[in-house]
A and B are shown apart, each in its own frame.
Chain A
Amino acid sequence: MKLALYHPWIYVTGGIERTLLNIASRSRHDWTLYTHHYDSAGTFPGLRDARIVVLEPQVSVRRALPALAQAAWRIGRTQLPLRDEEALLVSSEGLGDFVVAKNDLPTVCYCHTPLKILHDPVTRQALRSRSFRKYAALRFLAPGFNAVDRRMWKRYRYVLANSQETAHRIERAGLPAKEIEVLHPGVDLDQFTLHPTLPRERFFLVAGRIMWEKRIELAIQALRVARQNGTDASLVIAGGVDSKSRPYLETLRQHAAGLPVEFLIHPSDEELAALYARCMAVVFTAPNEDWGIVPLEAMASGAPVVAVDAGGPRESVIHNVTGWLLPPTPWAFAEQMKIIADDGPNGRLISRRATRRRAQQFAADAFVQRLDDVMEDVVLNGAVARPILPVAHLPVPGLQIARSAADESGA
């Protein structure tokens, strides 16, 4: 079956791009990826094997309000140069929705989050403290944006959310979805795997995109406090940086002055997998992550996760079993880092096999298989059959949220 996927920009090595790569490489269907901005050098090399069509006029990846407004306008006016695709999957972070305006294919939404700056209270609050003027402008423009976005959402045949957190945001945003199925993006269990013979070392790892939204300074502050308390450990920060986040990287370097912090920019997948396998634990500081592929990659590699007790990690990390969910303070993180370091690189606080088993419940293959089924249902039947297994998650008030196949596979 020939299918189209739209995502506004493919230019970095983040969780969304990893998900797109999984879809393109594992699906039984034949996908064409349409995008308004593609940087083959900045994203995963594996995406080079996918069929990608770059649309015009291309959109900026800047997140300033005028750039966002322009991007929404351009996306909304785009008619996809479809060949013989039978359905469209919109991979949406808020702006992707607008592509349905001029395209009539049966469409499914895979929602990573509704526009975060409007619908995630933590991000909104962060913007308010950074620039009240921008925050006020955003509040002024929000009703208009939301009104148009709701009209776009009415055209979705089916909505998949990447997490319970995202499903709740969709519900709070008042976006019209009769039913939302939570389908967690999966992890590549072959690429990120246990290495029982590889010795663990005395460092903590921060992985993933380096950008202010990930609040990586928390990990550096925590390391400083932990070392003051006698913890002998270092920190490795490994991830991609796009041009707009370069100043943030410099700020992090200044924060890290005098501390044993190593930066590894744009690591290859092999380097990243080796870091996961060698670290004592992965520190995940994002304040309210939509889902978070990094905790999954860590657990698949047998590394425990020290994460903020909010957002996606609440759904993936099991407190005290596969990691720890903590308040977002340097002291809480430092205390846990000390406990882990005192236990040693090959300590017994967390079972490596337990973390691996947890990750296996979110296999990329299961994720893609369920997505394939959904798309097939939409094309062949015009509607999507609910997952066979019983609903286990608590429903969002006013919504029915079905549990994903990926989530069920290890239940």
Chain B
Amino acid sequence: MSLIVDGRFLTAKATGLHRVARGFVSAAKDAGVELEVWTPGACDDPLADRAIRLPAGRVGGRLWEQVVLPAAARGRTIWSLTNTAPLARPGVVVIHDLAASIGPAWFAGSMHLYARSVLATARRAVRVITVSGAVRAELVARGVAPDRITVVAPAVDEKFVPAPADEVDRVRRSLGLSGDFAVMVGWADPRKDVATALAAHARAAAEHPHALVLIGSGHPTFAPVSMPTGNDIMVTGHSSDADLIALLTGAKVLLYPSRYEGFGLPPLEAMACGTPAIASDIAALRESTAGSTRLVAPGDVTAWADALLDGLRGKLRPPTRPQRTWRSVGQELADALPGGSDARRLR
């Protein structure tokens, strides 16, 4: 019997977490896992297989996930990919991070309940898939049985390759970038710590003039972050994949001063585009970057400025394309999902 995928995330505003969820579903499908993706109401996403009617109202999405989806599933196993699942009968759940539990200050007050529900889901789930050993350790420390947790790290999307020179020129022209520039992704998320990036930029700019491009936009669940201002700061808002890849290719370095991550894809995406990254020295990023990037203590403005200067002067270690592929992710998912290996054998 095929797994039912909780496809509620396909109807929400896309975030990095949703991108990984989509990657997981596609990879599992490609690996031969039998899946049916159910979504709340009509959805024209190519991944969606079946629409189940959504209750009206602001809490409709949550009500759908908690009541409508499990009722319609009639006992079949549900695979939930974005931290939450039907609490009464959680099947397999992917926990990307415990940010809302670990740093409630980074989120709107309404996320306190969400933080508790993520942990409750993880404790009750038949199987928990998480993206790094760091999150696995956090889950175990919070009472999730270790034998029910499987780590499956995501991979960088294959479209992250160095952009052609004319694409880079196009984004340079559109932003008015003439000289060297550094990039930060996700600045409007408080846990990404744009303040440290700005301070490092200001210091480094005194010795090596450059611009800092801040990519990303706010989200209703984030605590507010002040709009950055200052010399040579460019805030792009949400970027298309093409713009993002061109910016990552054209940048001298990616800054990723995040205080907390479940995995941390942007440094790997930058390296896939041929640009070195500087990342925070925190457990998840140590693990995901595996020695391929410069790690700097979070919040240490002086050390970040020094590393940024090295990046601008081309003194960082040349980037290497991450070796992990979505194909291997799919194979690991097939082994982790109930019935997944059987499905693969039967294929």
Chain A contacts to B: CB under 8 angstroms:
37-41, 45, 48-58, 74, 81, 243
Other 20 A-B pairs with CB < 8 A, given A40-B203, A41-B202, A54-B193: A38-B196, A38-B199, A39-B199, A40-B198, A45-B206, A48-B202, A48-B203, A48-B206, A48-B305, A51-B300, A52-B199, A52-B300, A53-B299, A53-B300, A56-B103, A56-B105, A56-B298, A57-B103, A58-B105, A58-B190
Q: Are A38 and B300 closer than 8 Å at their CB atoms?
A: no
With A and B bound together, what is the CA distance between A41 and B231 in angstroms? 9
Cβ 8 A contact of B301, one of A53, A56, A58 = A53
Q: Are B195 and A39 closer than 8 Å at their CB atoms?
A: yes
> 7 closest pairs, A vs B, by CB?
A57-B105, A40-B199, A54-B299, A41-B230, A40-B202, A52-B301, A51-B302
Number of interface residues, chain B, beta carbon within 8 A: 25
- Taking CB atoms, residues of chain A closer than 8 Å to B226 are 243
Q: Are A38 and B202 closer than 8 Å at their CB atoms?
A: no
Q: Are B203 and A56 closer than 8 Å at their CB atoms?
A: no
Closest to B229 in A: A41
Q: Does B259 contact A (CB under 8 A)?
A: yes
Q: Does B297 contact A (CB under 8 A)?
A: yes
- Taking CB atoms, residues of chain B closer than 8 Å to A37 are 195
12 interchain pairs, CB-CB under 8 A: A37-B195, A39-B199, A40-B199, A45-B206, A48-B203, A50-B302, A52-B199, A56-B191, A56-B259, A56-B298, A57-B103, A57-B190
Q: Are A38 and B301 closer than 8 Å at their CB atoms?
A: yes
Q: Does B106 contact A (CB under 8 A)?
A: yes
- Taking CB atoms, residues of chain B closer than 8 Å to A81 are 297, 299
Closest to B259 in A: A56
- Which residues in window 182-214 of B have CB below 8 A to A? 190-191, 193, 195-196, 198-199, 202-203, 206
Min distance, Cβ A55 to any Cβ of chain B, angstroms: 6
Min distance, Cβ B100 to any Cβ of chain A, angstroms: 13
Min distance, Cβ B246 to any Cβ of chain A, angstroms: 27
Given known A39-B195, A40-B198, A40-B202, contact A57–B106 (CB-CB < 8 A): yes
- Which residues in window 286-333 of B have CB below 8 A to A? 297-302, 305
Interface 0/1 of B257-290, CB less than 8 Å to A: 0010000000000000000000000000000000
Min distance, Cβ B309 to any Cβ of chain A, angstroms: 12
- Taking CB atoms, residues of chain B closer than 8 Å to A55 are 299
Q: Are A52 and B195 closer than 8 Å at their CB atoms?
A: no
- Taking CB atoms, residues of chain A closer than 8 Å to B297 are 53, 81
Given known A40-B198, A40-B203, A41-B198, contact A56–B193 (CB-CB < 8 A): yes
Closest to B260 in A: A56
- Taking CB atoms, residues of chain A closer than 8 Å to B195 are 37-39, 54, 58
Interface 0/1 of B54-70, CB less than 8 Å to A: 00000000000000000
Q: Which of A54, A55, A57, A243 has the most CB of B within 10 A?
A: A54
Min distance, Cβ B313 to any Cβ of chain A, angstroms: 18
With A and B bound together, what is the CA distance between A50 and B305 in angstroms? 11
With A and B bound together, what is the CA distance between A379 and B305 in angstroms? 30
Min distance, Cβ A7 to any Cβ of chain B, angstroms: 14
- Which residues in window 222-236 of B have CB below 8 A to A? 226, 229-231
With A and B bound together, what is the CA distance between A48 and B304 in angstroms? 12
- Taking CB atoms, residues of chain B closer than 8 Å to A54 are 193, 195-196, 199, 299, 301
With A and B bound together, what is the CA distance between A41 and B106 in angstroms? 22
